[in-house]
Amino acid sequence: MYIKMKIFCKSFPPRLGGDGILVQKYLKYGKRDAQVYTVGEGESPENVTYLSNGYGRSYRKQIKKISKDNEFIWAHSTRLGFDLNKNLKEDDFLTVHGLWGLVPRKPDVWWKYYRNKLAEYLYFKFLSNSQVTVVSHFSKNKLAEYINPYHIPNGVDFSGFEETEKKKKAVFLGRHHPQKDLEFVTEISKFLIQKGYKVHIGGNTTKFSLDREWNKIDGLTYGYLSEEDKSTWLKESKYLIQPSKWEGFPTTAIMEALKYKCIPIIRDYSNKGITDLSEFFIFTEKDNFKEKINNYRYSEINFKKLSKLLEGKYNWENIIKEYDRLFDKFNQ
């Protein structure tokens, strides 16, 4: 039996963010009749409605109006939880892809950090009426102080490894923002370049980019990569540099990297042994990243085991089934 569902997200199409990727995969593999209300431009694809060009007053006003009926709602991002709080019911869902104020990170403006910290605390402590899912163990552990979230990781479309030649290359994929700890990304990049690697820092250049420093580093390039260029870099690179402070495992970039036998160098504040993919990551902190990278033996990785995990447990089709099973529990 199909149950109508309204999905609200800030990032669609998927190239704009992780929540868009999860929504896209639900439209492909999910069993419910879903209509997506999002931000974007151009002609809306089937089952997707662009309400506004940007996440502003117009979009927030429209989603509040659309969410007032009794149909099942699935919202993405804590910010949408804030905006839709009064309209979300106990059997509706909010998926948290990353945390802001509750996570230790360098804020772009100090008052924003304290504002976000207070807002998230109040929301999860007193206001959250809906069921909450998280994509990382870190987020689950942090939110366990206030609520009891469900953990469902991100996935990957995987049908087997391609036989591609690995080169001495590494790549970063992400927004240029303090949340991504670009200073640490730069330190890791410089170390790898000293070891003979070529490194590319992907993502659109913003006011947070360290382009003045990057321009001085031989062997380092930076700038936006098309989907084709991303795939090429992941196929040829041994390492994905992704030491984000706030998301924890697994971002969609990390899962895509594993699909190409590209090993993520990450910093995760969760319990590092809690996932069965831990042996394929290089867990680092600022005081030990050189040692951790030097001691990691790429040639000893059990790619047969990794293939089994990506094809089974972490395949997007199976991840979406987990969401549907959870939805069934609350929406019969």
Q: What is the CATH number of the domain that holds 259?
A: 3.40.50.2000
Please tell me whether residues 95 and 32 are part of one structural domain: yes
**Are 49 and 261 contacting, i.e. CB atoms less than 8 angstroms apart?**
no
- Domain interval for residue 61: 4-155+315-330
Whether residue 220 lies inside any domain: the answer is: yes
Whether residue 123 lies inside any domain: the answer is: yes
Please tell me whether residues 36 and 93 are part of one structural domain: yes
User: In terms of Cα–Cα distance, which of 15, 5, 325, 303 is closest to 173?
Assistant: 15
- Alpha-carbon gap, residue 329 to 331, rounded angstroms: 6
Please tell me whether residues 9 and 146 are part of one structural domain: yes
**DSSP label of 123:** I
Please tell me whether residues 124 and 202 are part of one structural domain: no
Whether residue 82 lies inside any domain: the answer is: yes
Whether residue 163 lies inside any domain: the answer is: no
Please tell me whether residues 40 and 124 are part of one structural domain: yes
Whether residue 162 lies inside any domain: the answer is: no
Please tell me whether residues 77 and 209 are part of one structural domain: no
- Alpha-carbon gap, residue 21 to 12, rounded angstroms: 8
pTM across the whole model: 0.89
Please tell me whether residues 302 and 223 are part of one structural domain: yes
Please tell me whether residues 117 and 219 are part of one structural domain: no
Owner of token pair 């469902």:
152
Low-confidence stretches of the chain (pLDDT beneath 50): 1-2
What pLDDT sits at residue 2?
45
User: In terms of Cα–Cα distance, which of 127, 149, 122 is closest to 137?
Assistant: 149
Please tell me whether residues 125 and 241 are part of one structural domain: no
What pLDDT sits at residue 200?
98
Whether residue 52 lies inside any domain: the answer is: yes
What pLDDT sits at residue 139?
83
- The domain total for the chain is 2
Whether residue 148 lies inside any domain: the answer is: yes
Whether residue 256 lies inside any domain: the answer is: yes
What pLDDT sits at residue 92?
96
Please tell me whether residues 138 and 103 are part of one structural domain: yes
Please tell me whether residues 42 and 87 are part of one structural domain: yes
Please tell me whether residues 174 and 289 are part of one structural domain: yes
Calculate ∠ Cα 248-253-259, nearest 5°: 115
Q: Please name the helix (run of DSSP H) or strand (run of DSSP E) that holds residue 94, with its range, or none.
A: strand 93-96
